[in-house]
Structure 1
Amino acid sequence: MTQLVDVSIRLAQEGLRPPEMPFLSRDPGFIRALLFQPQGAIVATDRSVSVLDRDLLRMQMSGFLGRAVALGSDLVACPEYSCPWTALFDAIGSGTVPAEGKLWAIACESISAPDLRARLEALEGRVRVVINWPAPGANGEFLDCLCYLFVTRTQADGPPIMLIDDPVAHIDDLNSLALLDYLADIAETGARQIFFATADDRLANLFAKKMGFLGATNFREIDLTPGIDEEEGHPLH
């Protein structure tokens, strides 16, 4: 079973920043999407599940991804078993990849974990690959991979300040702890000054404990609880 992990946390564990995708904002306006639905029969073997005519599908996917680049599509997607791994690797090798701010969600043919690891060696040095691997012991099972392709940057490319406002509002406790551990690692290196704001007292106390190794000189806690100005008689903000 694969555990769901917040993308920003998983990228942070690899020293990468979350991608900036304006079309995913609350009011994106016009979105240019390009979708692909393959035709043909599905065949299952002892090594994979894929479309029967793989050569035809490889040619179709090559044209589809090339068109996505030419049109500047914001979102590019295809359903499971749609993309042969050879077609995806050919595209990456030829520079047919999404531009910054674009997202490709490419569902590839089924594959076993050992076969996938072997194929990924071909991408070394070309792209950064971040995988949320299934639980140990699943190596003999098929993986139906949904590959997200996008442009991002390393944490080293960012400014020396991190502003974080209630980052764990919609993630579970396990991922919350993972984020705090990651922030503690950043603080220990001294590479970033971190401003962490939260309305959750439990999270604030936990964050303070995680950062306790910094000492009073390098860690400060500021209470921004609203109050009343005794002299003026109006609320403080």
Structure 2
Amino acid sequence: MDIASVDDILRERGLAPPQFRALIPNRENYKVLLCQPGANITTDSDGVRNSDPDIAQQQFSAYLHIAVENDVDLAVTPEYSLPWKVLEDAVRGGTKPADGKLWVLGCESLKPNELAALADRLSGQVTFIYEKCDGDQSRFLNPVVYLFQVPSIDGTSDSQTVALIQFKTCALGDNQNYEVDHLLLGTRLYFFGGAKNQLRLITLICSDAFDFTDKHARELYDRTLIIHIQLNQNPRQHQFRTYRTHLFQYDGHETELITLNWARDIYADIGEGPKCWQNIAGTGWYLRPNRFDTGDQKLQHNHRLGLYYTWLDPEKCHALFFSYEPAVFLLTATKVAHVAVTASLSRRIGPKMEATLRWNSKSLSWEETPQVDDGFVRIVSNAGNAEGDLKALVQTNPLAVERLLALCDGSSITEEDWYRVTKLDSCRIEATEIIKRVTFCHDTIIEADQFRQARVRACQRAARIISQSLPPSLSDLQTGYRFEWNERYPHANITSTSGRCATVIALDNTRTREDAQKIRDTLAEYMRRKAETENDSLEAQQRLHVWYQDDEKGDILYDPHRYTHYDQTPAESSFDIGRAY
């Protein structure tokens, strides 16, 4: 797999290198438009294409019009998605990127003779550049088209439209060896930029990631935006994500990855009728800028529109995942790097979702939706008496719901700042990238589903316990309370109608009395450290209670009078915090 400079290739043809707004390392944000289609696909010896060409043409034509109308700097479609007729009609009709804009279009497959015929038909309007692939010319190609404008080097001619086409270089292995038997492979990837005052951009097509080595990572990790387009039944399979490990193993914070797949539950017809893949989408944005905005306000805004936060712990980076449903996503983002920008002005805070659009089959248009379904409503009914509080809170702050549920369970509270999103256990993902967010329920793998159900049941147990019996220090809850979380009192999950905070933890029958003691003592110490006064510390500790279950699943309150009859100075720690876990 060779990686060639686009600038060099253009100069050889008398064309000037493009200056893309997205790759200028200044503090101006840039606009991104991603298409995550949900159409069914057909695969046979002629290639991969949309099963319903009429719907595909309507959807992708509308998508390109949105790219022009919103003046987006970067538009991307996934592997095998955009019909060639849409691209040809768009160019003929004047729908194409303006100067400084780049479209990265994963297109349906086509054969070499079909590509040559298309280039001939558009010869007066588009300059086609692509490698001539050796091998059986009856096989099909898997292309990504870079569409953009460039002037001539000497400035004697107007800007012209260039279609630089890159072909997949590594066939995907599957049970039928489909691409192995039918795909004509390319040998070259292209990168844009790289000059002194430019960032870089490169695209991988699905299993191209298999051949991405440490050598490639060393060459590209710094100041590069990597786009990974896919039509992938299992996008988080080990080989598809190893390249991310290669890239993020190096120090630095100026690398970003966009992975763009089709929507979940794609139906594929491989000659035996359409069958559901039962796939996740897995579209995501991976980054680790040194000033990423982890504030609840920004993350809640993105959440409402279908962009969900996680922290990828092995790579120490932020991983933002998109709704799994078919949609078009419009975002603004800070640049991958800032060069010669004053430190006080350099704020690389990551992408912000501006709009999520769903296809309206009646109006035949992409229409903006005010709020994307995160799936939480389908599990919150298991929260018992707490259901209403959780439904209300998730509308204003989903992360507050994650935190109060973590407190109800108690077992993950092992650091003083456990509630920060980079440490909150439901927001953290491991190398497998299984998403356990309780308020983002699109990942239905058993491990994630069991985690969510356990969290909601812990809240249900806490609500049930409160309704049955309370220690004297929580007697005010009998007149009313609500489950909530706020940053001022981060170790509390309940507020009484009189405004007093409390912490109620309800362990399940897998936890012991000793676990209850450790959890209670750990939180009591964190409360002591957080409190502004000794009285505040004692108040918080007296209103902290942990229940565990005996062998008959009866709820037992652990040491209810520990801080009620307290003969130790509140300013002193009640145990060795270093031995808590």
Note whether the superposition's TM-score is higher than 0.5.
yes
Match of 1:110 in 2: 109
Partner of 1:80: 79
1:111–1:18 Cα change, 3 Å: same
Superposed CA offset, 1:148-182 (max 9, x none):
11110112218xxxxxx99xxx9xxxxxxxxxxxx
Partner of 2:26: 27
Letter in 1 for 2:22: F
Q: Secondary structure at the match of 1:129?
A: strand
CA contact (8 A) 2:21 2:30 kept: no
Counting only pairs closer than 5 Å after superposition, residues 138-153 of structure 1 correspond to structure 2 as 138-153=136-151
CA deviations 1:74-120 (Å, max 9, x no partner) are 10000011110000000000000001001000111011111211122
Query: Against the structure 1 CA distance between its residues 153 and 138, is the aligned structure 2 distance closer, same or farther, given a 3 Å change threshold?
Result: farther
Please give the alpha-carbon distance, in whole angstroms, between the structure 2 residues aligned to 1:33 and 1:138. Answer: 37
CA distance in 2, matches of 1:58, 1:113: 22
Letter in 2 for 1:24: L
Q: Is the 8 A contact 2:111 2:140 kept in 1?
A: yes
Partners of 1:10 and 1:110 in 2: CA distance? 24
Q: Which range moves more in the overlay, 87-96 or 114-123? A: 114-123
Cα distance change on mapping 1:79 and 1:37 into 2, 3 Å: same
Supply the distance in 2 between the matched residues of 1:15 and 1:138 (Cα, whole angstroms): 32
Q: What SS is found at the alignment partner of 2:62?
A: helix
- Show CA shifts across 1:184-230 (max 9, x none): xxxxxxxxxxxxxxxxxxxxxxxxxxxxxxxxxxxxxxxxxxxxxxx
User: Is 1:52 matched up with 2:51?
Assistant: yes
Counterpart mapping for 1:68-217 below 5 A: 68-134=67-133, 136-157=134-155
The more displaced of 103-112 and 26-35 is 26-35
Opposite residue 77 of structure 1, the aligned amino acid is V
| Rg comparison, structure with higher value | 2
The 1:64–1:12 alpha-carbon spacing in structure 2 relative to 1, beyond 3 Å, is: same
Work out the percentage of aligned pairs sharing the same amino acid: 33
- State how far apart, in whole Å, the 2-side matches of 1:138 and 1:17 are: 34
3-state DSSP class of the match of 1:69?
helix
The Cα of 1:3 is off from its aligned counterpart by 4.2
Normalized per residue, the structure richer in strand is 2
Show structure 1 runs of 5+ residues with no match: 159-164, 171-237
How far has the Cα of 1:45 moved from its partner?
Answer: 2.5
Structure 2: 5+ residue stretches without partners: 157-194, 201-581
* 1:206 matched residue in structure 2: none
Q: Identify if the C-alpha distance between structure 1 residues 34 and 81 changes in structure 2 by more than 3 Å, giving closer, same or farther.
A: same
Give the AA of the match of 2:144. L
Deviation at 1:49, TM superposition (A): 0.8
1:11–1:130 contact (8 Å) kept in structure 2: no
Distance 2:51 2:87 in 1: 17
Cα distance in structure 2, aligned partners of 1:32 and 1:63: 17
Q: 2:149 is matched by which residue type in structure 1?
A: V
Q: Distance in 2 between matches of 1:12 and 1:157?
A: 13
Structure 2 contact 111–139 (Cα < 8 Å) conserved: yes
Q: Looking at both structures, which has the greater relative contact order when contacts are Cα pairs under 8 Å and sequence separation is at least 6? A: 1
Q: d(CA) in 2 for partners of 1:147 and 1:141?
A: 19
SS at match of 1:143: coil
C-alpha displacement of 1:72: 0.3
Q: How many residues align?
A: 160
**Contact 1:19/1:152 (CA < 8 Å) preserved in 2?**
yes
Aligned-residue offset at 1:141: 2.5
**Residues 115-144 of structure 1, C-alpha deviation per residue, up to 9 Å, x if partnerless?**
21112211110111111332x224232211
**Displacement of 1:54:** 1.4
The Cα shift of 1:48 comes to 2.1
- The answer (yes or no) to whether the contact 1:22–1:28 under 8 Å persists in 2 is no
Aligned equivalents of 1:28, 1:141: Cα separation in 2: 45
- Residues 1:147 and 1:28: Cα distance change in structure 2 (over 3 Å): farther
Tell me which protein shows more helix as a share of its residues: 1
Give 1:67 deviation, angstroms: 0.9
**138 and 24 in structure 1: CA distance in 2 versus 1, 3 angstrom threshold:** farther
CA RMSD of aligned residues (A): 2.2
What is the rounded CA distance, in whole Å, between the counterparts of 1:83 and 1:28 in structure 2?
A: 32
Alignment partner of 2:29: what SS?
Answer: coil
Matched residue SS, 1:80: strand
Pair 1:138–1:3, CA change in 2 (3 A): farther
Which runs of structure 1 show a deviation greater than 6 angstroms over 4 or more consecutive aligned residues? none
